[in-house]
């Protein structure tokens, strides 16, 4: 079985910001999956880079893929900045293209919400204790 090619630049400053946010969460780790950085605990809570639903050859190498808070999901789906990522959209995932001018507070909130939807309860409790 052939491995996927690496589809990111390890020196990307946008990826560095995503890593800073994601890896600050309790027991969060990073691995490369399908050629892209993937952030997880027991389950994946964020991917860096992907493709839109129905356009798998259209790469969005600096997109954040995440699971939104169910309360926020309807509003996010109305916002044109967000798109459904290939393969993950049926499972409730959304994506947002990032750049150096991105609102990093918003990204922190999206990553936090995705982490809370996927992390074991004890890790969510540890996160709440920090705050």
pLDDT of residue 97: 98
Q: In the CATH scheme, what architecture does the domain 13-130 have?
A: Alpha-Beta Complex (3.90)
CB atoms within 10 A of CB 44: 18
pLDDT, mean over the chain = 95
Q: How far apart are CA 104 and CA 21, in angstroms?
A: 9
Percent of the chain whose pLDDT exceeds 90: 90
Q: How far apart are CA 116 and CA 123, in angstroms?
A: 8
- 94 touches 76 (CB < 8 A): yes
pLDDT of residue 56: 77
Tell me the pLDDT tens digit for each residue of 79-118.
Answer: 999 999 999 999 999 999 999 899 999 999 999 999 999 9
Q: How far apart are CA 99 and CA 43, in angstroms?
A: 26
Model pTM score: 0.95
131 pLDDT tier (thresholds 50, 70, 90): confident
3-state helix, strand, coil in the chain (%, to 5): 35, 25, 40
Tell me the pLDDT tens digit for each residue of 34-54.
Answer: 999 999 999 999 999 999 999
pLDDT of residue 2: 57
In the predicted structure, residue 55 carries a pLDDT above the cut 90 = no
pLDDT of residue 100: 85
């Amino acid at each position: 079985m052939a491995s996927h090619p690496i589809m990111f630049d390890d020196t990307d400053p946008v990826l560095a910001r995503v890593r800073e946010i994601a890896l600050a969460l309790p027991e969060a780790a990073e691995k490369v999956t399908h050629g892209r950085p993937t952030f997880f605990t027991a389950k994946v809570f964020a991917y860096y880079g992907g493709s839109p639903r129905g356009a798998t050859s259209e790469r969005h190498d600096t997109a954040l893929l995440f699971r939104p808070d169910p309360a926020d999901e309807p509003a996010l789906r109305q916002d044109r900045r967000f798109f459904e990522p290939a393969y993950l959209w049926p499972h409730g995932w959304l994506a947002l293209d990032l750049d150096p001018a991105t609102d990093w507070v918003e990204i922190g909130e999206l990553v936090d919400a995705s982490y809370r939807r996927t992390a074991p309860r004890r890790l969510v409790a540890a996160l709440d204790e920090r705050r």
